Structure 1
Amino acid sequence: MKVKLDYFIDRITMYRLVLYVLIALIAVAVFLAAFHILPFTPLSLLASTFLLVVICAVLNALLAAVFGVPANVESSYITALILALIIDPAQTPVAFQFIAWAAILAISSKYILAINNKHIFNPAAIAVVITSFALGESASWWVGTTSMLPLVLVGGLLIAYKLRRIEMTLIFCGVAAVFTGLITYVQGHPLLTAAQQLFVGSPLFFFAFIMLTEPLTEPPTKMLRRVYAALTGLLFLPQLHFATLYSTPELALVLGNIFAYIVSPKQKVVLKLAQRVKIATGAIDFVFTPAQRLHYRPGQYMEFTLAHPHPDSRGNRRYFTLASSPTEKNMHVGVRFYEQGSSFKQAMLKMNGKTKIVAAQIAGDFTLPQDPEQKLVFIAGGIGITPFRSMLKYLLDTKQRRNIILLYINRTANEIAYKDILNAVQARSGIKVIHALTNTAALPPGWNGLAGRLTEEAIKEVVPDYDERLYYLSGPPDMVRGYEKILKDMHIKSDYIKKDFFPGLV
């Protein structure tokens, strides 16, 4: 079952998955409304949703043109559908005006309430916060009802699993539950009633899975995301208030977004293609000149937006690990190409010096440990070498020496990427690089690397002190899961296994 789930999840982008879940929620709500289970008519929900989608899509395209950046079409649809699920469907002219203003404010916030081209707030949340103060109209969060809960849980868990944010959502829900219980106990109210209201009669899970996990407004590292989740979980409590100002879900998220912005990298840059270099069979290293110098740690990734005609179901955004080192002036992005590739990758192949591609949201924990004495093993598969290229180039440029063994797995020798860096670190840094080719029928003459799949026995042979090392895994998801299992069979603790997000599939 888990294998089938992973197969499905790995082949759909995060934005498209969120979009499908939101569409499903609207569809179920229309069905429930038709049977009077929800307190509005199907027509009012459909009309409100249509208005929100049109305003968000049109305004997003206009503002993208004005600000000279690629339009994220899926993002505008997602914002519109979230607003449709948290604002009561309109049934009067005044209610339609409220919905229209919410849509306008949400999309505008992404361009206007931004610093260095990076928007600060969740668009839907900041929109209803502003309308609450300016118009006296606020979100009802009607999606947080018992009848909608099953689909919210199923769809939300898929999103959190896809993004590897299960822990963050659990922390948020746990903090909200603990403090709700404490406040309820102090006030002398029934705990069971409070628990039922929180878990069944509130938007807790929709908020956690859909709103809290938005990548562009969350912190970049796991530890900071834990703090973010706990802080927002505390602020989520409706019992909290300052004078007559009571906390609401949208206000909690906006305050959490401010924390996330403070602790996150602030850069969003336009890139200019400087060069493309074939680094292996089916793999190209794209060399970009950023409009400004980027500050990141070796091994981190960014989100790339490339506008192109007729994007397919995977959209116009991708996450790529940076193959470059912070010591380099240009940005390197290594990409593997396949037959029947996505429209995004086809557009990448057509890029020239005039093409505008935007990179944002530096994030990731797949970075070198602070302790330079920690022994490491890097296990890379195919284009999963990119974060290691970043780290190794950084170590070369900063003249650091670390005890590292790199196990690089490919089908054939022609698929080995970044040979120049791998040869340099062996010669100048003492780092041990061991190649493994899985296609034993195509071994080159005089091959002195490993042949066949990398087994537990092979790892123990080339890494005698295997139980003293920290392991880094990067490559296709199936490969990473396979070697994680091998390492655990070798009694390597989970804390000593770091897995790359492999954001190219997100």
Structure 2
Amino acid sequence: MTILSSLDRLLGRISMVLFTAVVLALLLAVAGVQAGLGSLPYDWAVLLPAAGSAVVGSLLGTIAGALVTRSRPYLPSSAVTGLILTLVMPATLGWQVFLLAGAAAGASKYLIAWHGRHLLNPAVVGLLVIGVTGAGVSTWWVGTEPMILPVLLGGLLVLWRARRLGFAAVYASVAIGLTWFGYVLGGAEPGAALRFAVVSAPTLFLAAFMLSEPVTSPPRAWQRAVVGALVALVQVLPLYLPGGGVVLGTLTITPELALAVGNLVAFAFGTRARVRLRLVRRQVRGDLVDLYFAPSRPLRALAGQYLDVDVPQAGLVADRRGRRRPLSLAGDPAGPEVRLVTRLRAAPDARPSPVKQALVNLPPAGEIAVLGVAGEFLAPRPGRPALLVAAGIGVTPFLAMLDAAAGSAPWGGAAGGARDWVVLHAVTRAEDALALAAPPPAGVRCLLVVPPELAAASATGWETVVGSVYSADGLLALVPDVAARQVLASGAPVRLEPLRRALRAAGARRVRTDVFLGY
């Protein structure tokens, strides 16, 4: 197992919100040490009350907003919001200002929302409120040289966990490049301008801890690139405009205003309608839970993408990973039912998490909410042979592709051409084999790959073969022309890494992967 796959397994054990909160708390601790060394103008005597006030304010605002809108409050994110505000606002503003910013941020998750999805990053709202009211300003002191290394290291971990490295890279490269150019135009020496653009600017912190927020991110990579470039462009406008970028009265162009503009554009790209899923039926096979839901309205999703769902039945803070889960679509998104499959236990000897147990115990007609749709693991390009290889539950996005293709001719709406696809579903336990919802389309061969002791295993729509996908010889015995095919692979990190190596050894030139974290 590689370092990155080990990192995936480690980070997948806790929620994105909890992990981000831990990293932010560590940054605050580093700031306290730096202040003690005289590198920052604050000390613990002001940092701790500021952080406490911001977090408490965010908690109170979250509860109040949920009460007003009759929603279930999601409290763990309040720590993230409060810590971000603490690292961006000057600690000398006073606890009342931090309480105000936190309360505005927390309430905005419910009051500035559309069908249950908040439009703006909560911390952005808090910063804008204190700016507009004149209560204070943001200084983004976390974006200074003493903090650059811990922000960079912690930010990379957060971005890796969120799978938002590309999003942040587009924004950061444009922002740094335009900032550098603006200072050079103003007469700065190029080296000094570059140093300032990197180590004395809010760019890195904003990219890692605010721009990357999943709920306010667009679902597709190209959309995220557009939003990232736009946020960077708006952020640097004061360098190029007379008057320092004043746009309305005392309101100036700030990083938080730039991110607010980006959030609104991202909202236009994303799922704007509230979608609730009502349980129709459930099948449990061993450790797998196969769920079929009726959506309250059609999903705006593509086969291969995943849903970010909220399972309120798990309770407020019972699950250390939070009550949200990314679950791959296992059926045609355009179909009358939404099929989701999840593994009950993260490991054979582990206890089911409260969220997984809540899904198992979900009563008939019980509902969960869709918070968003995302994912770039889409069906292969038409016109070329393809090989789709799944390790265990990693087959779910392929099930969606097969289901979506069952009634289309040709696949994906492309004109002309016969299909030539091979789908390999490798399992080590008979109960892990997932059935197809419809017979495979013409030109598609679906093989259930099992070890010798499971030769009698079967699943609807699959042809059972004894073999292995974890060696080049095993793959070539099943698919002799691996090198001629575009290849997609999906599964948990512990399975995906050896699978990728075997595919490379078998001649695959490029392997597109979908990593299942925490399943």
Question: Taking structure 2 as the reference length, what is the TM-score of the superposition?
Answer: 0.88
Contact 2:218–2:269 (8 Å) recurs in 1:
yes
Q: Does 1:69 align with 2:76?
A: no
Partner of residue 301, structure 1: 306
Q: Does 1:412 align with 2:423?
A: no
Inter-CA distance 397–503: structure 2 relative to 1 (3 Å threshold): farther
Partner of residue 444, structure 1: 456
Measured in 1, the distance between the counterparts of 2:470 and 2:282 equals 32
Partner of residue 435, structure 1: 448
Q: Quick one: which of 267, 288, 293 aligns to 1:288?
A: 293
Partner of residue 398, structure 1: 408
1:52-131 map, 5 Å:
52-90=54-92, 95-131=94-130
| Post-superposition offset of 1:35 | 4.2
Partner of residue 179, structure 1: 178
Question: For 1:272, what is the secondary structure of its paired residue?
Answer: strand
| Post-superposition offset of 1:83 | 0.9
Q: Does 1:250 align with 2:262?
A: no
Contact 2:176–2:203 (8 Å) recurs in 1:
no
Contact 1:319–1:504 (8 Å) recurs in 2:
no
Contact 1:407–1:434 (8 Å) recurs in 2:
yes
Please list the CA deviations of residues 349-396 of structure 1 after superposition, one character each: whole Å capped at 9, or x if unmatched.
Answer: 222146442112111111124x53232211111111111111111111
Measured in 2, the distance between the counterparts of 1:293 and 1:107 equals 30
Cα RMSD over matched residues?
Answer: 2.4
Contact 1:321–1:504 (8 Å) recurs in 2:
no
Q: Quick one: which of 342, 346, 351 aligns to 2:357?
A: 346
Question: For 1:425, what is the secondary structure of its paired residue?
Answer: coil
Please list the CA deviations of residues 231-262 of structure 1 after superposition, one character each: whole Å capped at 9, or x if unmatched.
Answer: 22222325144754153211121111122122
Measured in 2, the distance between the counterparts of 1:500 and 1:268 equals 26
| Post-superposition offset of 1:132 | 1.5
Inter-CA distance 379–4: structure 2 relative to 1 (3 Å threshold): closer
| Post-superposition offset of 1:301 | 0.9
Measured in 2, the distance between the counterparts of 1:220 and 1:254 equals 17
Measured in 2, the distance between the counterparts of 1:70 and 1:399 equals 44
Q: Does 1:499 align with 2:509?
A: no
Q: Which runs of 5+ in 2 are unaligned?
A: 247-251, 412-418
Contact 1:299–1:322 (8 Å) recurs in 2:
yes
* Percent of aligned pairs with the same amino acid: 28
Contact 1:379–1:407 (8 Å) recurs in 2:
yes
Inter-CA distance 303–242: structure 2 relative to 1 (3 Å threshold): farther
Measured in 1, the distance between the counterparts of 2:518 and 2:487 equals 21
Partner of residue 487, structure 2: 471
| Post-superposition offset of 1:491 | 4.3
Inter-CA distance 148–445: structure 2 relative to 1 (3 Å threshold): closer
Q: Quick one: which of 241, 263, 268 aligns to 2:269?
A: 263
| Post-superposition offset of 1:86 | 0.8
Inter-CA distance 242–104: structure 2 relative to 1 (3 Å threshold): farther
Contact 2:69–2:111 (8 Å) recurs in 1:
no
Partner of residue 37, structure 1: 39
Q: Does 1:482 align with 2:501?
A: no
Measured in 1, the distance between the counterparts of 2:286 and 2:397 equals 19
Contact 1:48–1:84 (8 Å) recurs in 2:
yes
Inter-CA distance 66–441: structure 2 relative to 1 (3 Å threshold): same
Instruction: Single out whichever of 320-329 and 265-274 deviates more from structure 2.
Output: 265-274
| Post-superposition offset of 1:453 | 4.6
Question: For 1:320, what is the secondary structure of its paired residue?
Answer: strand
Please list the CA deviations of residues 326-350 of structure 1 after superposition, one character each: whole Å capped at 9, or x if unmatched.
Answer: 2322221101112412221122222
Measured in 1, the distance between the counterparts of 2:217 and 2:9 equals 26
| Post-superposition offset of 1:170 | 2.2
Question: For 2:91, what is the secondary structure of its paired residue?
Answer: coil
| Post-superposition offset of 1:73 | 2.0
Please list the CA deviations of residues 83-137 of structure 1 after superposition, one character each: whole Å capped at 9, or x if unmatched.
Answer: 111111245xxx3332222112212222222223222211111321233123262
Measured in 2, the distance between the counterparts of 1:127 and 1:225 equals 23
Contact 1:168–1:225 (8 Å) recurs in 2:
yes
Partner of residue 325, structure 1: 332
Measured in 2, the distance between the counterparts of 1:503 and 1:319 equals 9
Partner letter of residue 228 of structure 1? V
Question: For 2:304, what is the secondary structure of its paired residue?
Answer: coil
1:210-225 map, 5 Å:
210-225=209-224
Q: Does 1:362 align with 2:379?
A: no
Contact 1:400–1:429 (8 Å) recurs in 2:
no
Contact 2:168–2:207 (8 Å) recurs in 1:
yes
Q: Which runs of 5+ in 1 are unaligned?
A: none
Partner letter of residue 108 of structure 2? S
Instruction: Single out whichever of 129-138 and 143-152 deviates more from structure 2.
Output: 129-138
Please list the CA deviations of residues 282-328 of structure 1 after superposition, one character each: whole Å capped at 9, or x if unmatched.
Answer: 11111222222222111111111122335132111111111121232
| Post-superposition offset of 1:39 | 1.3
Q: How many residue pairs are counted as aligned between the two chains?
A: 493
Inter-CA distance 124–276: structure 2 relative to 1 (3 Å threshold): same
Partner letter of residue 460 of structure 1? L
